[in-house]
């Protein structure tokens, strides 16, 4: 729609969903994104999928980073995806996942439209680079 002539920073929502109180990773990645020049909205802890969808839509983010370490990703991610679809926001939002995601769950999540999954050991440069290259063009 618009040309890339305006230097808009990439907008991200870093989200914690569900009953998972481990937010060190989310904080670290939020800071890394900030230092990479992104605008980062942090959701805070214990958000429901609906709340994440609301935040993603209202903030009109390019990238939604979800951090899940509780193992509930197969329940929570589909709800978020469905919510974004409801608001026509799924198509132009890049969704990335971080946390503890077992290898066997990855194909299923990727099939639902998750752009990338960063598990333990992933470097911040890797995540920043991926977002830079894959953030949807507006």
Min separation Cβ 133 and other proteins, Å? 17
According to the binding rule CB under 8 A, does residue 93 interact with other proteins? no
Residue 103 is a binding residue for other proteins (CB under 8 A): no
Among 17, 26, 36, 116, binds other proteins (CB under 8 A): 36
- What span, in angstroms and rounded, lies between the C-alpha atoms of 86 and 125? 33
Output the furthest CA–CA distance in the chain (Å, rounded). Answer: 42
CB of 109 to other proteins, least distance (A): 24
46 vs 32, 43, 70, 76, CA distance in Å? 22, 9, 11, 12
Sign of CA dihedral 19, 24, 25, 31: positive
Task: Report the residue from 18, 26, 47, 118 that binds other proteins according to the rule CB under 8 A.
Answer: 47
- Is residue 116 a contact partner of residue 135, using CB atoms and an 8 Å limit? no
State how far the Cα of 129 lies from the Cα of 123, in Å rounded to an integer.
10
Q: Which stretch binds other proteins (CB under 8 A): 46-54, 69-77, 100-108, 111-119?
A: 46-54
44 lines the binding site for other proteins (CB under 8 A): yes
By CB under 8 A, name the binding residues for other proteins.
1-3, 5-6, 8-9, 11, 30-31, 33-44, 47-48, 50-51, 54-55, 57-60, 87-89, 138
């Amino acid at each position: 729609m618009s040309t890339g002539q305006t230097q808009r920073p990439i907008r991200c929502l870093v989200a914690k969903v569900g009953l998972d109180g481990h937010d060190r990773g989310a904080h670290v990645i939020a800071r890394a994104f900030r230092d990479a020049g992104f605008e980062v909205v942090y959701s805070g802890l214990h958000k429901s999928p609906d709340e994440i969808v609301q935040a993603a839509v209202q903030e009109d983010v390019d990238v939604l980073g979800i951090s899940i370490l509780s193992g509930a990703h197969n329940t929570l991610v589909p709800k978020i995806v469905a919510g974004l679809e409801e608001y026509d926001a799924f198509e132009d939002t890049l969704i990335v996942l971080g946390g503890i995601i077992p290898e066997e769950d990855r194909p299923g999540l990727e099939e639902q439209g998750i752009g990338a999954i960063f598990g333990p050991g992933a470097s911040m440069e890797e995540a920043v680079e991926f977002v830079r290259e894959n953030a949807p063009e507006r």
